[in-house]
Amino acid sequence: MNYTLHQLHVFFKIAQTQSITRAANELHLSQPAVSIQLKNFQDQFDIPLTEIISRRIYLTDFGREIAQAAENILNEAQVLNHKTLAYKGLLYGKLKVSVVSTGKYVMPYFLSGFMAQHEGIELVMDVTNRQKVVDSLTRNEVDFSLVSILPHQLQVNQLELMPNKLYLVGNGMSETGQQGTDPDLLKKLPLIYRESGSGTRSTMERFIADHQLEVLKRLELTSNEAVKQAVLAGLGYSIMPLIGLKNELLNKDLKIIPISGLPLKTSWMLIWHKEKQLSPIAQAYLSYIEENKARIIHQHFDWYDRF
């Protein structure tokens, strides 16, 4: 037999996901590439590894045994890599981070330099809504989380990365019919909300409640990107974090609607559970951020103060 570690990895991912499409997405490969690797791997066995039933892929009994063997081999290969790096005095292992969805515009820039310095570190980053980020921290599933609102139900340590500003925005052609900045303007505008559990939604609802406004809720969408596209299409207005609007504002596809009390200001914060014992990788990352934060902000977010 002449199978490769890459073929084992592809087959094991298919076994995990029970889907060539999902396996391709998780491996960042095309569907045809995954299908070819599966076929090349299967050709080395006289017994079928998979079968298709009602257009779904299933492992045969033999396939499940091979998947288990593949997992063991891949784990052993990873151990060999780690031992090599450790012998050279390098860090190895996983850095696990959970990020609120809008934080995807922030966190990669605070990770890229660190990852480039440490080839033995594997990054696992989950981008989701605030409630799920807090849940992952509570269950000790991650080293760090990126949030803009501190979870009051947990005792956490925190490191502020940069400001977070939220503005009312409409598309570039929108006319509010009013020159003033009274928050009452929100009563007349169709508003687009994030889903329950979102930090952006929580901040937006607090502003509306503080001003005792009765507003028209037009849509509820499950990602900041979806809200942005809906605003661009003219479906309504939303209070949104500035961090994800750079290109649209500079190109005048979106515009900020001036409202008294806006922007709402919070901070992007890296947090970790107070009782967590940080791994050597997590400690190294924390030191990297403390030393490089100012440089990263200057290099990647110099546009932020224009608005």
pLDDT in tens, 160-208: 999 999 999 999 888 775 555 889 999 989 999 998 888 899 999 999 9
User: Measuring CA to CA, which residue among 120, 137, 114, 139 is closest to residue 290?
Assistant: 114
What does the pLDDT read at residue 136? 92
DSSP 8-state code for residue 277? -
User: Measuring CA to CA, which residue among 157, 213, 165 is closest to residue 186?
Assistant: 213
d(CA 266, CA 244): 15
User: Measuring CA to CA, which residue among 195, 196, 177, 197 is closest to residue 187?
Assistant: 177
User: Measuring CA to CA, which residue among 112, 123, 122, 125 is closest to residue 85?
Assistant: 122
Q: Domains in the chain, start-ordered, CATH in brackets?
A: 5-87 (1.10.10.10), 93-162+267-306 (3.40.190.10), 164-265 (3.40.190.10)
For the record, the structure tokens of 266 come out as: 């919070």
For 71, other C-beta atoms within 10 Å of its C-beta total: 15
Alpha helices in the chain (DSSP H): 5-17, 20-27, 31-42, 61-87, 112-117, 130-138, 199-210, 224-232, 246-250, 280-300
Token pair 């570190």: residue: 121
Using alpha carbons only, what angle is made at residue 226 by residues 196 and 25, rounded to the nearest 5 degrees? 100
Decide: 227 and 191 in contact? Cβ < 8 Å. Answer: no
pLDDT less than 50: residues of the chain = none
For the record, the structure tokens of 252 come out as: 């005048």
Interacting residues of 113 by C-beta distance below 8 A, sequence separation 6+: 288, 292, 296
Q: How many residues does the chain have?
A: 307
Kind and range of the H or E run holding 52: strand 50-53
Token pair 């900020």: residue: 256
223-230 long-range contacts (CB < 8 A, ≥24 apart) are 223/101, 223/194, 224/101, 224/102, 224/194, 224/200, 227/192, 227/193, 227/194, 228/254, 230/192
Kind and range of the H or E run holding 160: strand 156-171
d(CA 113, CA 111): 6
Looking at this protein, which amino acid is placed at residue 97? V
